[in-house]
Amino acid sequence: MTDPAKVRRHAERIRELVASVVRSQIKDPRLGMITITDARITA
């Protein structure tokens, strides 16, 4: 059985990484005020 706390930590890290990539790598002015609020991990 998977540990829910571990899954939450991984999802939070993925959310942080996606937000960082969007902020630093994507140069589209339409994405100026975008916010990544959630990441979900499914099996």
pLDDT tens series, the chain, 43 aa: 589 999 999 999 999 999 999 888 988 888 778 899 999 999 8
Q: Which domain holds residue 39?
A: 1-43
Measuring CA to CA, how many Å separate 6 from each of 9, 21, 33? Answer: 5, 23, 30
Instruction: Give the number of domains in the chain.
Output: 1
Query: pTM (2 decimals)?
Result: 0.78
Q: Do 36 and 19 meet the contact criterion of CB atoms below 8 Å apart?
A: yes
